[in-house]
Every structure is written in C-alpha cells, then in structure tokens.
Chains A and B, each alone.
Chain A
Amino acid sequence: MSDVILKVDNVSKQYRLGLVGSGTISHDLNRWWNKIRGKEDPYLQIGDTNDRSTKGDSQYVWALKDINFEVNKGDVLGIIGKNGAGKSTLLKILSKVTGPTTGEIKTRGRIASLLEVGTGFHGEMTGRENVFLNGAILGMTKKEISSKIDEIIEFSGCERYIDTPVKRYSSGMTVRLAFAVAAFLEPEILVVDEVLAVGDAEFQKKAIGKMQDISRGGGRTVLFVSHNMASVKSLCTKGIVLENGQVAFEGTAEHAVAKYLSSDMGENTSLKTFDKNYDKPTFKLESLGVKNNNRNYTEPVVEDAEIEINLDITFKIDTTDKYNITYHLHNELGETMFSFYDRDFEIKIKKGNNTIQCTIPKDFLQSGSYSLSLFIVKDKRVAEFAEKNIFYFNVVNGAKEIGVYSGREPGYIKPTFQWKNV
C-alpha cells in the first residue's frame, strides 16, 4: 500500500446533553477536584452510545467512540451514515474546529476543510474582495489568490457582478462564487461536507466534475461526507460507514454503500406501511414496497434482477373498474424520468384487498436513489389521490459486481439492447 497520509487513532468525542448552564459549574469543579488529586475525569467513564432515537440514562453521550482508520495518499474516502451517526463531528475534529475528547489524529499534509461554502462572506464587500477574504480564511495566501483570481471568477460565472457588493447577489450566485474559491484550494487533504448539494443543475455538474479532477488529476486526498450514494460511489475509492458514533464498516466505496443501504441503517426501507391518514372514503392504502422478485424487502434492491413494485390497497366501493394506478419515477435530483400506468394491461381491481404488482425488467434501472409518486386515477382523468415522492428507494449494483470497483456509469437507465455483427 502507499503512504498513510492521515491516521485517526482511537478518537472519541463526548458531548453533554441538555442545556449548558445549571450544573455545569458543579461538574467543572468536580472534574478539577479529581484532576488535582490525580484521578481520572469521572465524567469520561459514563456516557451512552450515540443513538438519537432512544432515550438515554446519562447526561453525557459519545458522539464518536474509538474511531480508528487510516487514509492513504490519493484516496478519496467517503464517510456515510444516517443523521446523527457522527459524520459531522468527525469532520469537525478533522478540520480542527473542535478537539477530540480523547485520542489523536496524525497527518502528513495540510488539511483544508469545506464544511460550508462562503464562510466569512461579508455582504458589504464586493465579490472580488470576498474572494480574497474567503480564500485567506480557507488558508490561501494573498499571492496564491492573486494568481488564481481570474480562473476563480471565470469558474464562478459571476464576472459581471464581481465588483458589486455580495449583498446584491442572488443566493445562487453567492454560492457559485463561494464554491469557486473552494475549488481552487490546493491542500494535500481536502475535507468536504455535502456542499455539492447547492446551486442549479448545471453548476452541480461543474462542481462534481471539479471534485473528480481534484482527486484524480491532482492525486490529492479527499474526505467526503454525503447522503447522496450516487456521488459517493462515483467520487470515492474507499468508504467507511458510521453507526452510532462507531465505525461499522470500512472497505471499498461500493461495499460501503451496499452495506449502508442493505442494512436497516439506511433511512430508506424498501417497504412502507401507511397509517390512517391514507384511509380515504373510497379506498385505503395499506403498503407500498419495492424488492427484487425472488428476495425480501430487507435485502438491497439490485439492478440486475427484476424489480417489483407492490401496492397493497383496499377498496371500499363496488365500482372499482373505474380506477387506475399511475406512478411517476424521479431521480435523486427530483427530476421526473418517466411515468407508467396499468391502464393498458389486464388488471382487475376488486372490492376488498388488492395487491397490484408492476415489474421493471432486470438491467433496466441504473443503480442510484429514486422516488415514486403515486396517483390513483378515476375515469382515466381525475386524480382522486396524488402524492409526490410518496416512496423512496435505492437500487444498488448487482451482487455479482459488488467488490469490483467499476464506477457508476452516467444516466439513470441501463437497458440491454441487441447487439450483433451484420
């Protein structure tokens, strides 16, 4: 293996829950009293694991507990995990915003962090002045910025407004300018939080392209936190999964994403049961689920097997033949990819419970995150029920490909066509 550029050694971070204030002084005094007697900090021995949904017994919580990993030079490490798993805390420690409670991190390179774009932007100053200030905050020297200022302005696409105070900018323009500054940082290690989820589609593409250039061309090391599995898979070479403040998995990015999505750790479950809000006068929605046709809902949905969409619905009226089901499929940007419906098929909806299944052929959907909108249409025209993004699901690379890093191909569908010599 190549050089280790960053080593995280037994890092833990403890937070105190509740308000800072009452009781803080007494705890501080107790700590100090134990310290001068040469004893250990009494509050370090207690503390719950970091699980946001369960009620804890202790006032102290370990946001991170005994984190160990190494990053090699040139690696692009994706850090994934659900909300509150400790991702941001880890990034904060890496970027020296806050210190760890115990343990240490050793590095062989300059770390620059991008937890937010536009840190320190001042509305009263012009775009150009802000580029200099923001660049310096991120660790560039004035000379470095001067030599890159033209490129930065060009990349941002805000040339016309560059000598206007930033407070007159649209929010999108501010973000563009801010990202442009960050894109021209040249540290050995770059720490990036989900800043790519900004700007319009055109700019997002530009930003992701720039990130790829940084990691591939420059041989720089990037640590990247995201909820967007598609960008983690396309950008990262390695991945770690955090769960309740601990490293649950470490390996290739593909593996990590698959692990994250397959276990119940993901926010997305592939079966959604509806509550009484979906009990309508004419029908009641029971559940909606997506799975491969020979597997369970608990398993990941893979792209190289048929995918079933199962809708469980109970009709309370007799005139069920007037009703049709329509779905819209959206990609992770929320763009509608296509719509599909049961109208032209031999579907009989009956009074009482129905399970209506739609099968998407294998090797059709590209791995990624998708959402479904559901419409229940009466008389082929009136939408009696419509809910956008009623259901989210993920499709992962097929089982045979897991472990072989090939990168995600562009696009959202991956159909198999006929090829032959003629």
Chain B
Amino acid sequence: MSTKDTNQWLYTISPRNKVIDLNLKEIWSYRDLLFLFVKRDVITLYKQTVLGPLWYLIQPLITSVIFTIIFNGIADIKVGEDVEPFLFNLAGVTIWNYFSECLKGTSDAFKKNQNIFSKVYFPRVIMPLTTVVSSLLKFGIQFLIFIGFYIFYASRGQAGSLNVEALWLLPILILLMGLLGLGLGMIISSMTTKYRDLTFLVGFGVQLLMYVSAVMYPIEVAVEKITNNFPESANIINPIIENNPLAGVVETFRYLFFSEGTFSIEKILITMGVTIVIALLGLIVFNRTEKTFIDTV
C-alpha cells in the first residue's frame, strides 16, 4: 500500500464545507452544463403553447397598462412633466421583473431539482446561476420592447431625455438586480430545505417588496405624499422606501432614460455594497447547505 504521498489526493470528501469554499475552477469546468441548462429552460418553457415567446411581452405590457390606469389614472401620481406614465411604468416593471424572476427561480433551487441533486453531483450553484442567465435572456427581450416604446414616445417628446453621461451605469444596474435576486434566492432556498414555511412567503413577499421598491412611483413623489397623508407613520414607511436598495436601482434605471427622479452616485455605491454582502451571504449559506440538504429536503 502506498501511503507515502498522502498529500497528493485530488480532493477530499469531508463532512462539511468550509465557510467560504467556493471552487471557482470547478464551476468554470462545468460551464457547458450551465449553458445547456439555459438552453433547456429556453426551449422547453413555451413548448406546446399557442402564443409561445409572445408571453414574454404580454405580461409586462398588461401589468404596465394596469399600473397606469390605477396609479396614474385613479391615484393620480405625477411621474414627471414630459414622461408618458405608461412608459414610466414599463421601465419599472421591466427592471423589476428581472429581479423577481431571479429570486423566484432561485428560491426553490434545492426543492425543484431534488431529483437530479439526489442522483448526481455537480456544483449545486450551477442551478441558481442558470436561473440568473436564462432570466437575463428574458430581460433582454423585454428590454428591447421597452426600447421600442421608448423610441416611439421619444419621437413624440413624451419620454423625458436620455441621460447619455450616466448610461454606463446600465449594465451595473442589471448586474445588481441579478445579484440581489440570486443572493436572496439562495438564502431562501437554503432555509426552505428544512423549514418549508418560507416557500409560502416568497410569492407574497416579492409582491409586497414591489410596492416599496418604487416600481410604479417616483421616490420623491411617494415620500411627499406619505408625509402629507400619513404623518404618523411617515417616519416608518419613508425610510423603507428611501433606503431600499431595490428602490434605488429602479429609480436610477429610470433616471438613465428620463433624466427624472433622484440620483446620487453615493446611493449606488451603498447599494453595491449591500448587494455584495447579500450575494456573499447567499453563497455561504448555500454552500453550507448543499452537502446535506438531500437528507432533509
């Protein structure tokens, strides 16, 4: 028996992962799997549906129409002097959808893939990453639709003005939304392996979160209205909206296209910090869970 070179083991299977044991090399070697999973998601999602990928468009358009009727028509929220309310809502819905798709898709990663996970090993984090990438494709299509409407309204002078100097922030905003969805989703999916309670919270929670994330109103308008109408609870609600990193991203996204609303580079930097913390926390929790979740799921 050769025990002389025991330190030359390729790898060791041990009871628990270290706190941060992110094997990037291993994940990279499974990149083909990531792309094949994305391909699977894309080609199987709308198989045997009549409207097919049109569903990508119907959902945000109808949501935006309804928001326009309720929030701008009935509740009379002012979105800016020369911005069409429908376009304003479409912008919010488009960027928000990316976050919510990532979160929802990731949050049941362990439960949904129980069958595969209990039979074969690959870095588990591939599954949440798949969600983020295939949601990005979906976002891409919805974003193109938004651009289409943007050009249409811009030609009629109803789309504010494009903020060319700040446009470099766009990819960062998208990345922030993806990472926030991924991080929160991974935390939730790790916790739901043992305690299923959180699954009930996700669908409902995402909806609640949307209402405090400035999707259908400008932050400034909301803060002002709440201070006037509910002075007692304003110091509870307003800080939530103002400090919500998601609200910051949504607001900044609209700022890029309409040059309306609040914008500060400081706030973006703080949001980045929060995002990184959440994403890392998600990875740590996910890593700790992936070894033994199959026994408890």
Residues in chain A within 8 A of chain B (CB atoms): 1, 3-4, 7, 15, 20, 24-25, 70, 92-110, 113, 115-116, 119-120, 122, 124-125, 129, 132-133, 136-139, 141-142
Contact = CB atoms under 8 A, between A and B. Distances in A.
A4 B36 CA distance: 35
B36 A104 contact: no
B285 to A, nearest CB: 15
B121 A96 contact: yes
Q: Which of B9, B117, B122 has the most CB of A within 10 A?
A: B9
B1 A4 contact: yes
Contact of A108 (B8, B15, B44, B48): B8
A103 B30 CA distance: 27
Among B14, B43, B115, chain A packs the most CB atoms within 10 A around the CB of: B14
Given A98-B292, A119-B116, A137-B116, A108 B36 contact: no
Contact of A124 (B8, B37, B47): B47
Nearest to A89: B295
B14 A100 contact: yes
A353 to B, nearest CB: 53
25 contacts: A4-B3, A20-B296, A24-B195, A25-B195, A92-B118, A100-B15, A104-B14, A105-B14, A106-B6, A106-B9, A106-B11, A107-B10, A113-B119, A113-B120, A115-B119, A120-B120, A124-B43, A129-B39, A132-B36, A133-B39, A136-B32, A136-B36, A137-B33, A137-B116, A142-B35
Nearest to B118: A97
Contacts of A104: 12-15
B41 to A, nearest CB: 10
A119 B10 CA distance: 26
Contacts of A141: 29, 32
Contacts of A4: 1-3
Interface in B106-130: 115-122
A107 B117 contact: no
B295 A115 contact: no
B119 A98 contact: no
B9 A108 contact: yes
B294 interface: yes
Given A104-B12, A107-B9, A137-B116, A98 B33 contact: no
Given A97-B118, A97-B121, A142 B15 contact: no
A1 B13 contact: no
B291 interface: yes
Contacts of A93: 13
Given A24-B195, A97-B117, A133-B39, 18 more contacts: A4-B1, A4-B3, A96-B13, A97-B119, A97-B120, A97-B121, A98-B291, A99-B14, A99-B292, A107-B9, A108-B10, A110-B10, A124-B47, A125-B44, A132-B36, A136-B30, A136-B33, A137-B33
B294 A97 contact: yes
A132 B291 CA distance: 26
Which 5 pairs show the lowest CB-CB distances between chains A and B?
Answer: A99-B291, A96-B121, A136-B33, A105-B13, A142-B32
A105 B10 CA distance: 11
A50 B13 CA distance: 22
Contacts of B225: none
Interface in B18-66: 29-30, 32-33, 35-37, 39-40, 43-44, 47-48
